[in-house]
Amino acid sequence: MSRFWVRLLARLLLGRRLPITEGRLTVPGLQRPVVIRRDRWGIPHIAAQTDADAWYALGFCQGQDRAFQLELLRRVVRGTLAELLGPPALPIDRLSRRIGFRHTSERQLSAVAPELRALAGAFVQGINAGMRYGLKRRPHELVLLRSRPGKWDLADVLGMVKIMSFSLASNWTSELVRLKVLTEDGPEALRALDPSYPEWHPVTDPPGVEAGPLLDRLAEELERFAALVPAGGSNNWVIAGWRTASGRPILANDPHLDPTLPPYWYLAHLQTPGWAVAGAALIGTPAIAAGHNGFAAWGVTAGLSDNTDLFLEEIGPDGRSVREGERFVPCALRRERIVVRSSQPVEDVVLETPRGPIISPILSGIPWALSLRAVWLDPLPIGGLLRLHQVRSFAEFRQALAEWPQIPLNVVYADVSGTIGWQLAGQVPRRRRGSGLIPQPGWLPGAGWEPDLLPADALPWSENPAAGFIATANNRPRREGDGPFLGADYLDGYRAARIAEALASRSDWDIRSTQALQLDVLSIPWRELRDIVLSIETPNPAANRALALLRDWDGRVTAGSPAASVFECFLAEMCRRVAAAKAPRSANWV
């Protein structure tokens, strides 16, 4: 049967299943009447008379627009995806249960301020009402899976933020790669290949300053580790008014998440008698992560501060304890029963060490017992993005972001008074030993973290810099040695360098030129490598054709450029060969 007939048959059998967007609905949980108007793009514009009703309505719209997406995410948080999808989803459930997204979210509830609990509670009520009353019929996906959406609660919202923290900012994979290279190919291989931030790449503050060396810090950890263990992407920027054609600041944000349908972002506009906000929320959360409230605007990128560590553990003979110094200390055991559709249930036992849960059973090819410690797993107060919709000054903006134990974020700021600013948000641990670049042995005296985190005032920030702009692109925030150590696993600074180069080149920025910069494709790496690559002499005809393409190339990585494809393939192959030459045993991990 052709694809056309399959689609036609599915349409006839299942029909259109769109949300209810016209008329009047009576739903439980609202305090006063709410008006929701949809524009021509389907974006909801919500007018409510109370704060709780505004967030309820946002949840309602998300529930009726994204019911299946929300059901999948709720199950990922709880580790119940295999109950819906069967054995292929079991690895996801095992990871979720072992890390404890839901378990730790339940523990964190008591630390959430009462007014934020009320906000999030109204939002959750709205999600559940949207899925129940905002749809004429169940979404196609749930019909085909013979299932109905389950109820969200407050712990699911916290779990969503923890999942984003785990997937976007945690550097534990980098720690694991370093450990593999070190044990399989030795310290010299790791020194040659470690993806630490190049000292000649720029930092966010001040603009254009180089990062400084980091290798000595890594070398100290390598020496300690080798003596104990046998060998074996997004952009945002803000421009001051004196650099713009209008004399007012311009803020630009381009957060890079996987291009999925539906996307992770949900656009909305909320208005109450006391405040209004418009922008993008992460689906399943009641916070406008990038938006404006009529006075101030803000935008986010991943900050990549190191708030996650792995620890090597020695499990005791009883299987219920881990070594600390010369003795074994008992650990909590958490039993997880995972229901699997069309198969037998699976029982997992999670060992909770004093540092965190043992996660290594879910990692194939890992011979060590590894525990995971993360700021976002701790039961800490949370504010941050949940409070930005009401800020009325840069000081209030910074104060709101002080309590943010989740994904580290570069948050840029601009307001109608002309102030521009930037705050690196996301609380960071104070390590007793090491820098979190490679897993530390958990049994050593002094292993782990101090009880208190770095104070919020210790995190980098900037207000009205002399350069007239601030730009971030997942790059290092400040020079090595300037303030406390925040991590090493930042992305290369090429994007930040290109943005800073462009912003500094003119003082007549407007919306159109700013949008054009968001689509800029100029390659600084090619500018650095051009003379070296074009000096190559080879008898190979194909290589000479490639060099001829590159010789005439303008360095712009456009989709239709054969030369750009040649350069990208060259870079990928060069990286592969360097890894194989320097670390032959662990090259695939590198």
Report H helices in 211-263. 215-228
Rounded to 5 degrees, what are φ and ψ at 114? -55, -40
Give the 3-state secondary structure of residue 551: helix
Find the Cα–Cα–Cα–Cα dihedral 133, 134, 140, 145, rounded to 10°: -40
CA 542 distance to own-chain centroid: 41
Please state, in angstroms and rounded to a whole number, the distance separating the CA atoms of residues 325 and 444.
6
* Pairs from 548-553 (Cβ < 8 Å, separation ≥ 24): 553/526
Nearest to 161 by CA among 85, 108, 236: 108
Contact between 82 and 152 (Cβ < 8 Å): no
Burial class (CB in 10 A: 0-12, 13-18, 19+), 374: buried
DSSP 116: H
Report H helices in 194-286. 215-228
Rounded to 5 degrees, what are φ and ψ at 238? -140, 140
DSSP 199: T
496-382-354 Cα angle (round to 5): 95
* 349 sits in which H/E element: strand 346-352
366-372-374 Cα angle (round to 5): 150
Contact between 308 and 375 (Cβ < 8 Å): yes
Contact between 77 and 102 (Cβ < 8 Å): yes
Contact between 85 and 341 (Cβ < 8 Å): yes
One of 234, 305, 435, 586 is an active-site residue; which one? 234
For the question of residue 234 being annotated catalytic, the response is yes
Burial class (CB in 10 A: 0-12, 13-18, 19+), 48: buried
Contact between 296 and 92 (Cβ < 8 Å): no
CA distances from 471 to 89, 114, 501, 518 (A): 39, 35, 10, 12
Contact between 143 and 20 (Cβ < 8 Å): no
CA distances from 165 to 159, 161, 305, 374 (A): 10, 6, 11, 9
Nearest to 299 by CA among 249, 267, 264, 253: 253
Active site residues: 234
